[in-house]
Structure 1
Amino acid sequence: MFEFGSMQDRDAVEAEMSWEARDKPSTLYQMLERTARAFPDRPAASFQITSGPTDPKETVTWQQMLDRSCQAANLFRSLGIGENDVVAFLLPNSNETIYTLMGGGIAGIVNPINPLLDAEQVAGILKETGAKVLVTLRAFPKSEVAQLANEAVAMAPNVKTVLEIDLNKYLKPPKSWIVPLVRPKNPVKHNAKVLDFVAEMKRQNTTLDFEDKTDDRVAAYFHTGGTTGTPKVAQHKYSGLVYNGWLGANLLFDEEDVIICPLPLFHVFAVHVIWMACLMSGAHFVHPTPAGYRGDGVFDNFWKLIERYKVSFMISVPTAFAALMQRPVDADVSSLKTAFSGSAPLPIELYNRFVEATGVNIVEGYGLTEATCLVSCNPPTGAKKVGSVGVPFPYTDVKILTCDDAGTVLKEHGVDEVGEICLTNPGVVTGATYTEEAKNNGLFAQGTHLRTGDLGRLDEDGYLWITGRAKDLIIRGGHNIDPAEIEEVLAGHEAVAMVGAIGQPDSYAGELPCAYVELVGGAQVTSEELMAFAKENIHEKAALPKHIEILDELPKTAVGKVFKPDLRKSAIARIYDKALTEAGHAAYVAEVLDDKKRGLVARLQATGEVDHNAVKQCLGEFTRPFEWMD
């Protein structure tokens, strides 16, 4: 493994030899075959369907992982999947999910899909990628995945085969006897052929029936997060998968490590950052429950699971860290060396709580779907600047730029100057990040560096600091306010678990800052008390929130990010309803929709006689559009 404690160490790795000259596998199959040959009997992956520290688990070795991944790849080829064809999966976590991921990427292009999307969004992705095969669940108690797949495939006639996985295989009697009796009905609504994934896979050879060509090619499609409509789909090549795995295997993990990763296998964090690193290093990948951190009892049993598997690395996101800090460390966690946090900035106060409770440092990292993920992390063996996302990885070039809409560079910023984070590395598919060509317009600065849309700066030591999201800026009367300033202060209150700050509509300033807060379990505090705390600690007067609202739970994405579009919708409805009421109009905001052309649009419902011109004058003082419901 390389020493990675500073920019100097990072530069030394690059100076040693070029990325192209390094001895590394070229394909997903080569990554797996090398590790299986080196560590055939070592554990590759462990899964348990329930979260108890003594509950049944299934562990597969690296040789078994190779065998089953080859069987899955052969199965997909038998169903007409070539190198340019797509195998999609709509699945919770399980070992079969990994076989699907591996087999799909070896045989063709694998396309994981978030099962928390709605049927129209899933169908949109299936049609956008032209998927021929979908792997999903067989109907299972307390799960809607099979029903979702059924609805989506009915709207995506390009899917010719549906392969079903039955999670009942992971249960023991008497639970396994009960499932067939209570299994939900799910009558087929589409014309695709439905087959049993495990039964069909077992018929296949455990060695590849086809040549594993070593040319670099697109091997995966991962969609980005979306509000409404079809999310954008990013293309990932073998070279990007290898790069992410190589980084983890050479800078973080080796075959002796055990990594617990209760994150979804439809997301780049779990797949490219963690699984690919295990794939390259031979480390043991542990993923409890189909729903990961969302699974019943996972937080309550988490420290005991650390003890059970002798975990050395835990992988998490800020929302999960916040939940864990509401529970005592009730097990032997002496095996734990490091915690890795990604997906969203980690509040300093939450970092301090975790270190105090566990004695383990958190390494913050930064990545994005458009770059096949990894960009930077706080060096494991060097100075950890809490709040930064650390040093760019070897072979990653980060620039802080200001560009116009076409990607023309207007300014390259110096040390500690804030601008847009732009980057290139082996994970960036230059010029063709998204499957839809039009969405690549203006995406690259200088034609080479991916524009992330994140605002940030590089300090004098080369550490990268994210200061906000370009589209998240609160623009108050032409004054730019970074929501991170508000979030960082409020997150420092002892009663606060998570914060989301946004701009609420204002008839005068355009936007005014407001904040939504989720409290620590059992904590009690009022909005007025939080406002007083904000006044004491937010030094920029313009950034002081005009409204603080406490929610039982902030809306979040599947990987734990605060989902700000929902907060913006709530703010629009609140402000517009107040304006309508104060003006005496018999109408209210029934819903706020995300229109592709107009952005967020308030839809009004009349409750009596309405003067439409007067309403138009009233709400016309705000920048966000509105329309009447039919």
Structure 2
Amino acid sequence: MTFDLMPATRRDAMTSAGLWRDETLLDPFRRHVAAGPRKPAVIASRAEAGDTVRISYGELDALSDRLAIGLMRRGVGEGDVVAFQLPNWWQFPVLHLACLKVGAVSNPLMVIFRERELTFMLGLAETKVLVVPDRFRNVDHGAIARAVQAQLPSLAYVFVVDGEGEEAFDRLLAADITEAERATLAARRLSPDAVIELLYTSGTTGEPKGVSHTSNTMLANLVPFAERLRLGPDDVVHMPSPMAHQLGFMYGLVLPAMLGATAVLQDIFVAEEMARQITQEGATFTMGATPFLNDLADHCIRTGTRTPTLRVFVSAGAPIPRPLVAKAQDALGAAVISAWGMSENGAVTTTRLEDPQEKVTATDGCPLPGMEVRVVDVSGQPLAVGEDGMLQVRGCSNFVGYLKRPGLAQVDRDGWFDTGDIARMDADGYIRIAGRSKDIIIRGGENIPVVEVENLLFKHPAVSAVAIVGYPDSRLGERACAFVIPRAGMSFSFEDMVEYLKAQKMAMQYIPERLQVVDALPQTPSGKIQKFRLREMARDGN
């Protein structure tokens, strides 16, 4: 695989600055195995099966060795793509470590994908091996995988967790390993600039692209992230977000293995179960989009539950509504950290543990060391403090390109990546995301401050969740439609919305012209609202 965002000049700049350490995850992982082979590495519960598997660092190393040799026996080597469409089960981290050991590319896939999406994604990547569950949430993933395999000559193997016969995942765990095989595996050393992860964008825009990362780009994000949040080997990392999403993959799988910490994996998000796992396992850190934070806080408030060991909750994946921060801090007794990032670069900005409340509630943080952000106008010129414009990013954790789509990444000659987000920057260099560029509503030539209107509506006592999108209008170009989920047992009408926003002294032209009360908002599994689907619904009047 060759990519267009990996020129020699970038490597020279990153290594000379000490931002790329030229290690793979296996380097710190093996140090942790040697130092504490019995230390818990992964605690993974399966909600439907009702079981919990506990794996030590020594066991994780041995399992990934067996899996790596099983892959080698089937001809998998450097640059081959191994896809796994799995929930947050123990097999997930074992697969990634095994791929690193043989030099293969890990391609995590969301469990929501079906035959159409899988055929495209696996075909584009020329995937050699696919691992799926037998069944998960009443879906026969094994049958779907076999149907896809019949259409893709390059897909040589399908293995099924809880499957039977030749396709059973356990058959991929090599037995009777020879000394020659062990020697071959031990001699392999993957370049830190080799692509180790292929991750399709989660679909907030409707067009999946294969984001590609190396060990250098990924670890260059996680080292300063851990340092800023004071995370180390004594932490217990709880991950409710799918590891097939970048948030779950980087911060639920790679981060704890890099630190020598313990990962607690939740496969189906239920707030009550999340609270139980945090309390029972002594989790100190967790991370997820705003629905995870909101639901956990609501559960703790409703039941009087406390999470005494939880020290930090990083809310990322979508702008955090300001009223939610104070509620969550009171309910959880933990620091709430706002963050912003993308699959293409991981977390780029976060607030700091020592930041005042107004930074956490009013911004999405400042850049991590090694990353730069700027806000520019349509001609690429930097804007003044407080002005909304296009957010651009460059630095050590930017990805190395989109699979087989050279030139698609919007990166200029100076290395600035166009994120597609609209943001503003304050005098201290903290940014606030105002929305996606496609989310901007221009009504009669006037830009509607979508996030501000959403934040105001979120404060209404009858509103549980809200998202605002534009829909076409022949006279004004666009009008605004608010989609609202009311709180249980409460109602919310168009008249309620208008009266409330007027009482908040909002300009009349900013008040949405339509309201649609819904039971749910379309989301990716990581919690991002799919506004492109809401725009379709608003356009079609659904």
TM-score (norm 2): 0.89
After TM superposition, list the pairs within 5 Å mapping 1:280-299 onto structure 2.
280-288=258-266, 290-291=267-268, 293=269, 298-299=270-271
The one-letter code matched in structure 1 to 2:263 is F
1:443-488 alpha-carbon deviations (Å, 9 max, x no partner): 0134401110111122111212111111111121232223212211
Judged with a 3 Å threshold, the aligned counterparts in structure 2 of structure 1 residues 133 and 194 are, in CA distance, closer, same or farther, namely farther
My pick for the range that moved more, 106-115 or 516-525, is: 516-525
Report if the CA contact (8 A) 1:31-1:280 is conserved: yes
The reply to whether residue 453 of structure 1 matches residue 427 of structure 2 is no
Partners of 1:247 and 1:204 in 2: CA distance: 41
Partners of 1:96 and 1:212 in 2: CA distance: 23
Q: Which residue, out of 273, 276, 279, partners 2:254?
A: 276
> SS in structure 2 opposite 1:151?
helix
Deviation at 1:387, TM superposition (A): 3.1
Deviation at 1:214, TM superposition (A): 3.3
| Structure of greater relative contact order (alpha carbons < 8 Å, 6+ residues apart) | 2
After TM superposition, list the pairs within 5 Å mapping 1:427-506 onto structure 2.
427-429=397-399, 432-440=401-409, 443-506=410-473
Q: Which residue, out of 287, 304, 317, partners 1:343?
A: 317
Match of 1:402 in 2: 377
Report if the CA contact (8 A) 2:205-2:530 is conserved: no
Match of 2:511 in 1: 544
Partners of 1:148 and 1:531 in 2: CA distance: 47
Judged with a 3 Å threshold, the aligned counterparts in structure 2 of structure 1 residues 138 and 561 are, in CA distance, closer, same or farther, namely same
RMSD: 2.5
Q: Which residue, out of 116, 125, 132, partners 1:120?
A: 116
Deviation at 1:97, TM superposition (A): 1.4
Deviation at 1:225, TM superposition (A): 2.3
The reply to whether residue 225 of structure 1 matches residue 202 of structure 2 is yes
The reply to whether residue 520 of structure 1 matches residue 487 of structure 2 is yes
Judged with a 3 Å threshold, the aligned counterparts in structure 2 of structure 1 residues 329 and 106 are, in CA distance, closer, same or farther, namely farther
Match of 1:414 in 2: 384
Count of aligned pairs: 518
> SS in structure 2 opposite 1:528?
helix
Q: Which residue, out of 354, 357, 368, partners 1:381?
A: 354
Match of 2:283 in 1: 311
In the alignment, structure 1 segments of 5+ residues that lack a partner are 1-16, 168-179, 181-192, 404-408, 576-630
The one-letter code matched in structure 2 to 1:341 is S
Q: Which residue, out of 516, 524, 536, partners 1:557?
A: 524
Report if the CA contact (8 A) 2:288-2:315 is conserved: yes
Report if the CA contact (8 A) 1:249-1:278 is conserved: no
The reply to whether residue 196 of structure 1 matches residue 168 of structure 2 is yes
Judged with a 3 Å threshold, the aligned counterparts in structure 2 of structure 1 residues 99 and 541 are, in CA distance, closer, same or farther, namely same
Deviation at 1:43, TM superposition (A): 1.1
Partners of 1:571 and 1:538 in 2: CA distance: 26
Report if the CA contact (8 A) 1:218-1:236 is conserved: yes
> SS in structure 1 opposite 2:280?
helix
Partners of 1:418 and 1:113 in 2: CA distance: 34
The one-letter code matched in structure 2 to 1:411 is Q
Percent of residue pairs identical: 25
The one-letter code matched in structure 2 to 1:364 is S
My pick for the range that moved more, 314-323 or 230-239, is: 314-323
Judged with a 3 Å threshold, the aligned counterparts in structure 2 of structure 1 residues 358 and 368 are, in CA distance, closer, same or farther, namely same
Judged with a 3 Å threshold, the aligned counterparts in structure 2 of structure 1 residues 419 and 434 are, in CA distance, closer, same or farther, namely farther
Deviation at 1:366, TM superposition (A): 1.1
The one-letter code matched in structure 2 to 1:198 is D
Deviation at 1:159, TM superposition (A): 0.4
Judged with a 3 Å threshold, the aligned counterparts in structure 2 of structure 1 residues 148 and 514 are, in CA distance, closer, same or farther, namely same
1:389-419 alpha-carbon deviations (Å, 9 max, x no partner): 111000111122234xxxxx53122322222
Match of 2:24 in 1: 27
Match of 2:132 in 1: 136
Partners of 1:19 and 1:382 in 2: CA distance: 31
The one-letter code matched in structure 2 to 1:363 is I
Judged with a 3 Å threshold, the aligned counterparts in structure 2 of structure 1 residues 204 and 413 are, in CA distance, closer, same or farther, namely farther
The reply to whether residue 241 of structure 1 matches residue 218 of structure 2 is yes
Please identify the structure whose Cα radius of gyration is greater: 1
Deviation at 1:211, TM superposition (A): 1.1
Judged with a 3 Å threshold, the aligned counterparts in structure 2 of structure 1 residues 501 and 203 are, in CA distance, closer, same or farther, namely same
Deviation at 1:230, TM superposition (A): 5.9
The reply to whether residue 36 of structure 1 matches residue 33 of structure 2 is yes
Match of 2:10 in 1: none
The one-letter code matched in structure 1 to 2:59 is Q
Partners of 1:330 and 1:96 in 2: CA distance: 35
Partners of 1:520 and 1:552 in 2: CA distance: 10
Partners of 1:307 and 1:423 in 2: CA distance: 37
Match of 1:580 in 2: none
Partners of 1:565 and 1:62 in 2: CA distance: 42
> SS in structure 2 opposite 1:548?
strand
The reply to whether residue 104 of structure 1 matches residue 99 of structure 2 is yes
Partners of 2:468 and 2:429 in 1: CA distance: 28
> SS in structure 1 opposite 2:349?
strand
The reply to whether residue 78 of structure 1 matches residue 73 of structure 2 is yes
